[in-house]
Amino acid sequence: EDQVTQSPEALRLQEGESSSLNCSYTVSGLRGLFWYRQDPGKGPEFLFTLYSAGEEKEKERLKATLTKKESFLHITAPKPEDSATYLCAVGGAQKLVFGQGTRLTINP
């Protein structure tokens, strides 16, 4: 069975304090690893798709990387507006499987 585990569950940082979120996965036949950002009461907003080990993608203060067993979402010099829940999902043979998310809070 496809599984996704995200850690930590919650992370509180000071503005400007860089860190990384982890997404570990087991899937039979990875068809893509997806990162989303979700604000309270809203639908997930697409950030990145990674398809193969070694692939990296960047957008503003965020950078996503992928290995054969895990993905990292690195956040550099975060700002308060980066506060959100970050969701990781893997595309298996038939559907997306989501992790429980990491709730990120950036204090000014």
Partner 1 sequence: KAGVTQTPRYLIKTRGQQVTLSCSPISGHRSVSWYQQTPGQGLQFLFEYFSETQRNKGNFPGRFSGRQFSNSRSEMNVSTLELGDSALYLCASSAGQPQETQYFGPGTRLLVL
Compute the least distance from the CB of residue 105 to partner 1, in Å: 17
Q: Could you tell me which of 77, 80, 97, 76 has the C-alpha nearest to residue 30?
A: 97
Compute the least distance from the CB of residue 53 to partner 1, in Å: 15
Interface residue list for partner 1 (CB under 8 A): 31-32, 34, 36, 41-46, 49, 51, 87, 89, 91, 93-101
User: Which is nearer to partner 1, 8 or 46 (by Cβ)?
Assistant: 46
User: Which is nearer to partner 1, 35 or 82 (by Cβ)?
Assistant: 35
